[in-house]
Amino acid sequence: MLFGVHTHPARPFRRPLSPGSRAGLGAALALLAVICAIELLDRGTTSYLGLVVAVPFLAAAFATWRVVLGVGLLATVTGVALALTGRMLTTDVVVNVLGIALATALAVGVSLVRQRQAEQIDELSKLASVAQQAVLRPLGPQVGALAVAGHYISSTAAADIGGDLYEVLDTPYGVRMIIGDVRGKGLDAVRLASIVLGSYRHVAYERADLRTIVTDLDRAVARSVGDEDFVTAALVEERGGTLTIVNCGHPAPLLLRRGAVIPLEPPAPAPPLGFMPVVQPRVERLEPGDRLLLFTDGLGEARRDGEFFPTADRAWRLLGHGTVADGLASLETALVEWVRGRLEDDIALVLMEYAGTGQVPSTAVPSWELGAAEN
Convert the pLDDT of each residue in 57-90 to its tens digit. Answer: 888 888 888 888 888 889 888 877 877 765 556 6
Length of the chain: 375
Between residues 352 and 133, which one has the greater pLDDT?
Answer: 352
> Is pLDDT of 97 > 50?
yes
How far apart are the C-alpha atoms of 354 and 365, rounded to whole Å? Answer: 17
CATH number for 137-374: choose from 3.20.20.150, 3.20.20.80, 3.60.40.10, 3.50.50.60: 3.60.40.10
How far apart are the C-alpha atoms of 205 and 316, rounded to whole Å? Answer: 33
pLDDT of res. 134: 65
Instruction: Output the average pLDDT for the chain.
Output: 83
pLDDT of res. 375: 42
Residue range 186-206: mean pLDDT, rounded: 89
Distance between start and end Cα atoms, the chain: 82
pLDDT of res. 4: 43
> Is pLDDT of 209 > 60?
yes
Report how many helices (DSSP H) and strands (DSSP E) the chain contains, helices first: 10, 13
Tell me: the pLDDT tens digits for 307-330?
Answer: 999 999 999 999 998 999 999 999
- Amino acid in the structure at residue 276: M
- Annotated domain spans of the chain: 19-128, 137-374
pLDDT of res. 283: 97
pLDDT of res. 374: 41
Judged by average pLDDT, the poorest of 8-12, 253-257, 267-271 is 8-12
How far apart are the C-alpha atoms of 52 and 55, rounded to whole Å? Answer: 5
Q: How confident is the model at residue 46 (pLDDT cuts 50, 70, 90)?
A: low
Q: How confident is the model at residue 159 (pLDDT cuts 50, 70, 90)?
A: low
Q: How confident is the model at residue 189 (pLDDT cuts 50, 70, 90)?
A: confident
pLDDT of res. 161: 62
Partners of residue 165 on adjacent β-strands: 180
Residue range 150-171: mean pLDDT, rounded: 80
Residue range 16-29: mean pLDDT, rounded: 79
Between residues 246 and 344, which one has the greater pLDDT?
Answer: 246
pLDDT of res. 156: 65
Percent of the chain with pLDDT over 70: 82
pLDDT of res. 173: 96
